[in-house]
Amino acid sequence: MEPRITDLQIQSRVHELLDLPVCTNQMSTAIYQCPIGHTKEVNNENSKTKPYNCPHSGSKCSVTGDIPWLLLHLRNDHNVDMHDGRSFSHRYVHHNPKHLHHATWMLTLLDCFGRQFCLYFEAFHLRRTPMYIAFVQFIGDEEEAMNFSYSLEVGGNGRKLKWQGVPRSIRDSHKTVRDSQDGLIITRKLAMFFSTDNTSNKELKLKVSGRVWREQ
Ligand SMILES: [Zn+2]
């Protein structure tokens, strides 16, 4: 399958972690009526396991539930986009990256192989060095997550950086994964080289593409 380019301009939805919005956690009865693929299968698989915490990164959210429930919650309460297919490409932009310390961009859900994955992109500081990290997490348990691999690639202006990894289960929080640096790490300086038109201004414009596959 050809990679689909969906250059999401999501800078307006970047969340500053220093100023956390409160998750409303309100779900109307209409939400239950939304059809979702694979609900039955996933439901059976997870009926014996404990509920998952909401994997949303932009706000403190205490919602827990099984996978179908979380997918509805992410879509309806956090307005998270679902991307169908195993290849993806997203553009992360910010007008003033110099003043961006700890922040997380809008979460993207990936739907492939009948399962769902979360694509995260965050700004953080490692000691005093400003960094960005992108990584994928599996909506399911660790054991099953290990059946999958993913790659992420960022590039521009003749430079390219690639990461291959194993998606971590959402049993680990996105913060745990970020702090263990288990993902594509880009220093801010490097990110500015990749930014597509950094000659005209100092905007951050990163195109992160990647794919998920099942290990044989
Ligand atoms: Zn939530």
Q: Spell out the domain ranges in the chain.
A: 11-18+80-214
Question: How far is CA 172 from each of CA 103, 138, 158, 178, rounded to the nearest angstrom?
Answer: 19, 10, 35, 10
Number of H helices, E strands in the chain: 5, 14
End-to-end alpha carbon distance in the chain: 18
Model pLDDT, residue 94: 85
**In this predicted model, which residue has the larger pLDDT, 59 or 29?**
59
CATH 3.40.50.2300 fits 11-18+80-214, yes or no: no
Q: Average pLDDT in the 7-23 region?
A: 41
CA of 26 to the centre of ligand 1 (A): 10
Cα–Cα distance between 82 and 109 in angstroms, integer?
5
pLDDT higher for 153 or 156? 153
Query: Which residues are near ligand 1, the ion (C-beta closer than 5 Å)?
Result: 54, 56, 61, 63
d(CA 147, CA 125): 31
Banded pLDDT at 154 (limits 50, 70, 90): very high
Please return the burial class of 11, using the count of CB atoms within 10 Å of its CB with bins 0-12, 13-18 and 19+: middle
How many whole angstroms from 78 Cα to the centroid of ligand 1?
Answer: 7
Whether the pLDDT of residue 148 is over 60: the answer is: yes
- Average pLDDT over every residue of 171-192: 94
pLDDT at 201 (0 to 100): 65
Classify the C-alpha dihedral 53-54-55-58 as positive or negative.
negative
